[in-house]
Structure 1
Amino acid sequence: MTFFGVKTGRFILITSLAVMSFLTKADLIFEENFDGQPDFTSTMHTLSNTQRLSQGAIVPDNWDNIYQGTRWSPETGFPDNHASFEILAANADKTRIGTGKSMVNWRESYNAGWNNFASDSQLQVLLGQEYNELYMEFWISFSANWAGRTFEIGGQSKLARMGYYNGVGDPFNGAPPSNPALGPVLFWDYSQNTYGQRNNFAFRGGPPGYNYNMDPAAAGFEAGTNFTTKTIGKAVGGGNPMVLDQVRGGYLADVDRYDFIFHNQLWGAAGHWTKVGLYVKMNSAPGVNDGLMMQWINDQRIKVDTTVPWIGANPENKMVGWNFISLGGNDFFRPYPNEDRFEDWYALDDVVVLTSIPEDLLAETPSAPNAPLDIRVQ
């Protein structure tokens, strides 16, 4: 799926008639390939954690807010290390097509002696209005030295959020009672532990000030799943998604329930890019368990939740809509000694936000052909 457009401030001018026809069902809200961005890092202009355009901060074009946590970067006295995220022409080798720019998020391995999240690299855009449903997709790739390729426990990193922000207070931490500014919010995390690759989500309810801590089990769905057995039957039409095992061949849905998969099987070797799609739709009324959440990997649907109470019962009987997305986030990551100042990275590229699910993702998955068997990590 390709979109052709010209950014004009916060609006997208669609220049392809074919795309305009397609977008009668799913309108393009926002897109970003980072190529036209000026060089930027999260500590280039300030070491402040919170950096907000509305308060005079310098942030990437067409974005609104940054939250960063960087211990080691050139600006903090470590010229051989990196800010928590970079958008640089020098990182062309970390883009999907080998030219231009991407958002490169650097994780710092640091143990503070408690369950600390070592680094933070969140880039947020406010969408300008509320939407009843929202679809976001992006491409992701991981560094050759990514800890999950070597260690069974590969860390946990928040990679994406979709949510509602009331425009008052902190746009990054909406937990009541101290700052009831966010809700609902969907968080998607990278996670690898002794059970292998985990497909972890956090579901937070709303409206702001109410229902922030959601109970997925009580609502009839799972927040933490996997990329194998839990995807069975989740393709459009009720089939199994055809997500390739990048190491052993075959499809991940066919992996035995007792056989855990690890990083390279899903995300591939260094240089491999994976497409991720996330979709949310509000429930029909406060307290009604009929909100939606879905996920795709390489255009294969792997998760479907149909009973999400995004907006819970509240005294005002208030409903809100989705009005922001963000990329990156904080990292629980500390497999190496602090003195190593170890960093690994993941890159995000070609971000698209739509008002609904793209039409081509709603086609039923055909019967699976014989899967390739010659895929190996070098």
Structure 2
Amino acid sequence: MFGKMQKQIFKIFLLFVMFFMLPNFANAAVVWETDFEDVADWSAPRISNGFPNTWTGNPSRTLDPPKKMNGQWLHPSSWVRTSPSTLAVSQGPMATIGAGQGRESSRGLTYNFESGKGNPTYSTGWAGGSPLTMYFGEAGYPELWVEMWVKYPSDMDWWDGSDINYSGITKAFYIARFNGELTVSTSLADDHSVETRPTHPAWLPHMGSFYSSRPYFMQYYNRSQTSNGTPEVYDETVDAWYNNSSYYPYQNILLNNRYTYALPSSNPTVDTIRMDGQWHKYTYHVKMNSAPGVADGIQEVSLDDVRMFRKTNMAFILDGGSVENGWNYIELMDNHHVASHMYTENVSYPVQIDDVVISTNYIGPDYIVGGVDMIAPAAPTGLGVE
């Protein structure tokens, strides 16, 4: 297996070969990617800051998003959102980019998850912000694959078992359709708390996960910000492992815009989130439905290129909406609830991220960031949930 330096050498060699052998080839599948090797050292302090105060399009911004070493923005239209520390004594920045934080001790990004249970302001252990947020323009893309390598520390503990409804949840991926042109005055661009907000007329599929150290398990849910402006509760009982009542007994309780579920009686057979101190690849795929109200949209999640969840009847855009614009707004590692320790214990967990790729088709298990995607491979196979 190639090391990261060997991959870089191979990438240069492959580009050299392609230059002479396939001059008409264009790698149209990849929308954006980074392995952080050309990204400058960066730190996001824990202050209350967000769009538009950190957006690259705001000349008076108070916090810069990540930049490359040559001074260019890591993504040309991006921003970083931060919230104040939930600990009694802040342990450092929300996120950093630097050497030794990526795969094989290369450059990468670290997001520090604070355990803030009992915090006077955020008593449930909530902490907010995204270190890497991207806007792809009004038109967007009808289909996107977003993948990243993530390493959770082996000692990471999400909650103390006292409150399933709040503890142990994170938004690892956040993909949305923002209608309208993003400007410096659009201060509610990433406000996804109100269903009728005109800036968010489309459904916002999330990969959100409940975690427990006794035992581990996973929840997949959607938050419905509907395309026609009318709030609609999504029936989550047909999703993922919700089909298996022995894992997730249905409680029929609406809380915080989502249904809640009882503790599983036993561990799921597929452990989707790996907190073993090793690197794993997470991929989230969404495809817009073909017409308003037509339930043929797709969403799926893969772990290490093995499909863990798939749903093919999503009506992301409802009757009265429009599918003219596609997915155009992405956040990585947004809000999370970690309540394994009281905020006075000052505990945080470093979650490392590397090799982020956003593409319009599946790029395969051996894709090299910055390399050449010669043939679009077949989609991953594995567990299918319709």
Q: Structure 2 CA distance, aligned partners of 1:66 and 1:116?
A: 23
Aligned residue for 1:362? 379
* Greater strand share, structure number: 1
Change in Cα spacing, 1:335 to 1:268, as seen in structure 2 (3 Å) is closer
Instruction: Report percent identity of matched pairs.
Output: 16
**What's 1:53 paired with?**
56
Where in structure 1 do 4 or more consecutive aligned residues deviate above 6 Å?
Answer: 1-5, 18-21, 23-26, 149-154, 226-230, 262-265
2:209 to 190, 195, 206: 190
Q: Deviations over 1:3-35 (max 9, x none)?
A: 989xxxxxxxx87739989x9796110001222
Which residue of structure 1 aligns with residue 126 of structure 2?
A: 118
Deviations 1:300-337 (A, max 9, x none): 111110110000011x6564311122101111222212
Q: Contact 2:192/2:225 (CA < 8 Å) preserved in 1?
A: no
Call closer, same or farther: CA 1:106–1:175 in 2, change over 3 Å: closer
Would you say the 8 A contact 1:202–1:223 is kept in 2? no
Partner of 2:252: none
**Residues 151, 275 of structure 1: CA spacing in aligned structure 2 closer, same or farther, 3 A cutoff?**
farther
Task: Structure 1 unaligned segments of length 5 or more: list them.
Answer: 6-13, 231-256, 366-378
2:335 to 318, 324, 330: 330
Residue pairs, 1:1-378, within 5 angstroms:
17=18, 27-43=29-45, 47-50=48-51, 51-56=54-59, 57=61, 58-60=64-66, 61-63=73-75, 64-71=78-85, 81-89=91-99, 92=100, 94-112=101-119, 116=124, 118-122=126-130, 123-128=132-137, 129-148=139-158, 155-166=168-179, 167-168=181-182, 169=186, 170-176=188-194, 179-182=197-200, 183-193=202-212, 196-207=216-227, 210-211=229-230, 213-217=232-236, 221-222=238-239, 225=242, 259-261=266-268, 266-270=273-277, 272-314=278-320, 317=322, 319-358=324-363, 359-362=376-379
CA distance in 2: counterparts of 1:262 and 1:83, whole angstroms: 36
When normalised by structure 1's length, the TM-score is 0.70
Structure 2 gap segments, 5+ residues each: 10-14, 67-72, 248-263, 364-375
In 2, distance between residues paired with 1:82 and 1:20?
48
Secondary structure in 1 matching 2:328: strand
Change in 2 beyond 3 A, CA 1:163/1:348:
same
**In the alignment, residue 329 of structure 2 is paired with which amino acid?**
F
The verdict on how the C-alpha distance between 1:142 and 1:317 changes in structure 2, with shifts beyond 3 A counting, is closer
Counterpart AA for 1:180: P
Kindly provide the CA deviation profile for residues 250-290 of structure 1, in whole angstroms up to 9, marking residues without a partner as x: xxxxxxx95315998851522x0111111111111111111
TM (normalized to structure 2)? 0.69
Tell me the distance in 1 between the aligned counterparts of 2:223 and 2:195.
Answer: 18
Give the direction of change, closer, same or farther, for the CA distance of 1:264–1:28 in structure 2 (3 Å limit): closer
| C-alpha distance in 2 between matches for 1:284 and 1:354 | 19
* 8 Å contact from structure 1 (residues 278, 294) kept in 2: yes
- Is the CA contact 2:95–2:109 (under 8 Å) kept in the aligned structure 1? no
For 1:189 and 1:49, locate their aligned partners in 2 and report how far apart those are by CA, in whole Å.
Answer: 21
- Asked if structure 2 preserves the Cα contact closer than 8 Å seen for 1:156 and 1:332, the reply is yes
Q: How many residues align?
A: 318
Alignment CA distance shift 1:308-1:15 (3 Å): farther
Q: Distance in 1 between matches of 2:116 and 2:191?
A: 23
Describe the shift of the 1:31–1:265 C-alpha distance in structure 2 as closer, same or farther (beyond 3 A): closer
Following TM superposition, by how much is the alpha carbon of 1:118 offset from its aligned partner in structure 2, in angstroms? 2.5
Whole-angstrom distance in 1 between the partners of 2:266 and 2:17 = 46
The RMSD of aligned alpha carbons is 4.0
